Structure 1
Amino acid sequence: MTTTFLRPGDRVLLTGDSITEWGRDRDDPTSLGHGYAGVVAALAGARLPEHDLEFLNRGVGGDTARLLRERWDVDGLALEPTVVSVLIGVNDTWRRFAGGTVTTAEEYEEHLRAVLTSARERLDARLVLIEPFVVPVTPEQHLWRADLDPRIAVVRRVAAELRAVLVPADGLVAAAAVRTSPERWAYDGVHPTPAGHGLLAEAWLSAVGALPGAA
């Protein structure tokens, strides 16, 4: 199997909030956790053994785009990744409804762009952007769409401008929830179940061309 995106010797950094962190040991820099990041690393390593890929997980639970930016020098640039994958944004929305802390879509975009452009300009890294998502399991979460949808639009626009690989997670998880139920994929509407992490991992690998039959 070949892929035009992942290259031999790549160091792939997956970062974001708790969805990416998902069980990683912060005291072990090589820990990948047991969510989609770990599944991506396992399957990519199995399918592309000749690439000798290295994967790093630097997700931090509770992170917003601003918090990711604040730690980016240490948890991003200093690691010198050749591929940077980011999933961030749902906490920017969640905190508005849970605590009244509002981050505008414009502020979100500013922080996201700062992270991505520094990775591109200073490291010449290739970029992967995963859409934030919610599949409502409570009536209140239906209200989140008005806040989250503009962030998803930001991710799509920035991905196009920076020629990043886009993982269309919001639509994928929504479609899966229609087939079964939201709780089967994200038990609280946000945090994935094992099946949800598997869905994200498959989508990531497909987007970068590392699944059988992927373009």
Structure 2
Amino acid sequence: MIVLADGARVMFTGDSITDCHRRDTDNPLGYGYPLRIAGQWGLRQPGRTPVWLNTGISGDTLAGLVSRWEADVLEARPDVVSILIGINDTGYRYSFGHDEVTADAFRSGYRRLLEPLTGVQLVLIEPFLLPVKEEQQEWRADLDAKIDVVRELAREYDATLVAADGMFAELAAGNNPEHWLFDGVHPTPAGHQALADAWLASTSECR
């Protein structure tokens, strides 16, 4: 569980799911789950206003996030850091022939993100996938290994885990997966809302 005090600096970062057009619009939070989290929090807790920040960049892999960590995250001096990364490390392997990012390499790179964050509250969001294309079926084993790493590191670093992959699988059971992730990866409005609700459920005072 995390606790958000008035004025706490909350940093969301990751790939396009977090970015969600923040860089090509006039909304610095983008139009995805970070904006919905900020909106729900403001509605439920008008007396305490965190500072919401978003440095997600569309297309990023874990290596890309590591390369900009100092400038985009650490220099902002956040009190809470929320990370969602990993699906591109899987998808690029199969879609573009990139080298495999093994579980060991993914773990090592992710540790580089977490190690400087002493005293910072952490939220780790599982990367997720609902295969809607035949070729996405083979992504599953690769992504599952990375999800296991995120779960392991959440325990090790006493981080709050948002179990997004299982959540989307449950939501899509007996339903149309495209209702939640329109291409199997990127959330629809309903998917972003589900992710925001899951994130907020991990906090102790805005559920």
TM-score (norm 1): 0.91
Alignment CA distance shift 1:156-1:4 (3 Å): closer
Distance in 2 of aligned mates of 1:160 and 1:7 = 23
Partner of 2:14 in structure 1? 16
Three-state SS of the structure 2 residue aligned to 1:209 is coil
Partner of 1:170 in structure 2? 165
1:33 CA drift (Å): 0.6
Q: 1:64, 1:92 within 8 Å by CA — same for their partners in 2?
A: yes
Partner of 1:128 in structure 2? 123
Question: Counterpart amino acid of 1:152?
Answer: I
RMSD, aligned CA: 1.5
Give the count of matched residue pairs: 206
Partner of 2:34 in structure 1? 37
Which of residues 103, 109, 112 in structure 1 aligns to 2:110? 112
Q: 1:10, 1:51 within 8 Å by CA — same for their partners in 2?
A: no
Distance in 1 of aligned mates of 2:150 and 2:47 = 32
Partner of 1:103 in structure 2? 101
Which of residues 188, 193, 201 in structure 1 aligns to 2:196? 201
Question: Counterpart amino acid of 2:15?
Answer: D
Question: Counterpart amino acid of 1:78?
Answer: E
Q: Deviations over 1:162-202 (max 9, x none)?
A: 00000000000111111411100001000000000000000
Q: 2:45, 2:206 within 8 Å by CA — same for their partners in 1?
A: no
Q: 1:44, 1:210 within 8 Å by CA — same for their partners in 2?
A: no
- Correspondence 1:70 to 2:67: yes
Which of residues 112, 129, 138 in structure 1 aligns to 2:133? 138
TM-score (norm 2): 0.95
Q: Deviations over 1:17-66 (max 9, x none)?
A: 000000103686x7101100110111112222222211001100111111
1:132 CA drift (Å): 0.1
Distance in 2 of aligned mates of 1:182 and 1:106 = 30
Distance in 1 of aligned mates of 2:172 and 2:205 = 25
Which consecutive segments of 4 or more residues in structure 1 shift more than 3 A? none
Distance in 2 of aligned mates of 1:17 and 1:161 = 23
Which of residues 51, 58, 61 in structure 1 aligns to 2:58? 61
Structure with greater proportional helix content: 1
Distance in 2 of aligned mates of 1:176 and 1:50 = 33
Three-state SS of the structure 1 residue aligned to 2:128 is coil
Partner of 1:182 in structure 2? 177
1:211 CA drift (Å): 3.8
1:205 CA drift (Å): 0.2
Which of residues 3, 6, 12 in structure 2 aligns to 1:5? 3
Partner of 1:48 in structure 2? 45
> Which shifted more, 62-71 or 42-51?
42-51
> Which shifted more, 125-134 or 111-120?
111-120
